[in-house]
Amino acid sequence: MWIEQEQLAIEMIQHIDVNGESVSTDTNIPEEELIKIYHGMVKARVFDVRAMKLQRQGRIGTYAPLQGQEAAQIGSAFATGEKDWIYPSYREIGVSLMKGMPMEKLFLYTMGHLEGLAQKKANVFPVQIIIGAQYLHAVGGAWASQYKGEDSVSVAYIGDGGTSEGDFHEALNFAGVYKLPIIFIVQNNQWAISVPFEKQTASKTIAQKALAYGITGIRVDGNDAVAMYTTMKQAIEKAKAGKPVLIEAVTFRQGPHTTADDPTKYRLPDEENQWSKKDPLLRMKKYITNLGIWNEKKDQELFEEMENLVTQAFEKAQSTNPSQIKDVFNNIFEEKTKQLEEQQKQAEGANRP
């Protein structure tokens, strides 16, 4: 019997519509948690807007904005536990902040400072620039956790364009065969840099790709923070039970791919206007306001608080001494090898006047 795409009927999970109204009876999240999710989304948005301005002023380097993807990132990250591991690409600023990454570290990274990736306060691996490579790293981490009998899951993030990389398919195949405690999150933001979704895959959805590797797949409204949170909680239970999960979060990148990109060259204003009506921050604000647990005064105070936090973080990063040649040899091994020590001495000697 021939297998055709038309046989697949994949629905998209949604709990909150664009007006902030609940469209599901499966939602049962404490009010304080809803507010924490919104706090995380606002922090990510404020950081992102400021970072874009700083880059245009020449005060930080190339930056990959996340605006429009706050729900996909914060909703999923908020569901994870302290022992769980995050494997990000270059756009997961919101995830990193939610997992406890110091904000000044993120600024240092954009400044090319080695300390930007050196941190021990959060279970977040260093930013991966090579498209899709973090999926293989996450599989390795999940396999190690499984072998050691740890109560944790590995969570890897990627964009829709990354699913065209071989690493994506190898990772899913390995996870399926070994039944690893891992969750793959694909933020389908509609554009792989300047390539639209339908030009980089012939699949109707990304979620259906899970079937080829014997793992569980699901499609979620990535602009719905509540749907992302509840789905992620379920995914963690499955992953810990030896059932890897692929989550397709359908969202939209509101800004450029990076600050080196110009989306006006390939995207029409009508598309951007349609997606702006689905803005995840606005949707979540309407939802908690409709519940009677939020108002404009609280919202203004929160934005002012986050603006101050971002300012303090940038000032701290700016006052940090530049990286030195000796710093290159730190944070590689827990204890430096003899060879590494010799290389450091040679480098420092060559660098002396």
Break the chain into its structural domains and give their ranges: 9-322, 323-353
Query: Which one of the listed residues 113, 219, 257, 283 is annotated catalytic?
Result: 257
> What token pair was written down for 69?
């993807």
Single-letter amino acid, residue 31: E
**Helices marked H in the chain — which ranges?**
31-56, 70-78, 93-98, 103-110, 133-148, 166-178, 197-200, 225-240, 269-276, 280-290, 296-318, 338-350
* Through-space distance between the first and last CA atoms of the chain, rounded to whole angstroms: 74
Give CA–CA dist 86/210, Å, rounded: 20
Backbone angles phi, psi at 294, to 5 degrees: -145, 155
CATH class of the domain whose range is 9-322: alpha beta
How far, in Å, CA of 13 to CA of 39, rounded?
A: 23
The whole model's pTM is what? 0.94
Return the amino acid letter for 131: I
Q: Which of 15, 45, 91, 253 is catalytic?
A: 253
DSSP SS3 for 65: coil
**Catalytic residue (one of 266, 267, 283, 352):** 266
* Phi, then psi, of 22 in degrees rounded to 5: -75, 135
What string of pLDDT tens digits covers the 353 residues of the chain? 888 888 888 999 999 999 999 998 777 899 999 999 999 999 999 999 999 999 999 999 999 999 999 999 999 999 999 999 999 999 999 999 999 999 999 999 999 998 887 777 789 999 999 999 999 999 999 999 999 999 999 999 999 999 999 999 999 999 999 999 999 999 999 999 999 999 999 999 999 999 999 999 999 999 999 999 999 999 999 999 999 999 999 999 999 999 999 999 999 999 999 999 999 999 999 999 999 999 999 999 999 999 999 999 999 999 999 888 888 888 788 899 999 999 998 988 766 55
257 is a catalytic site residue = yes
- Annotation says 90 is catalytic: no
* Distance, CA of 4 to CA of 127 (rounded, Å): 38
Reported as type and span, the H/E element at residue 21 is: none
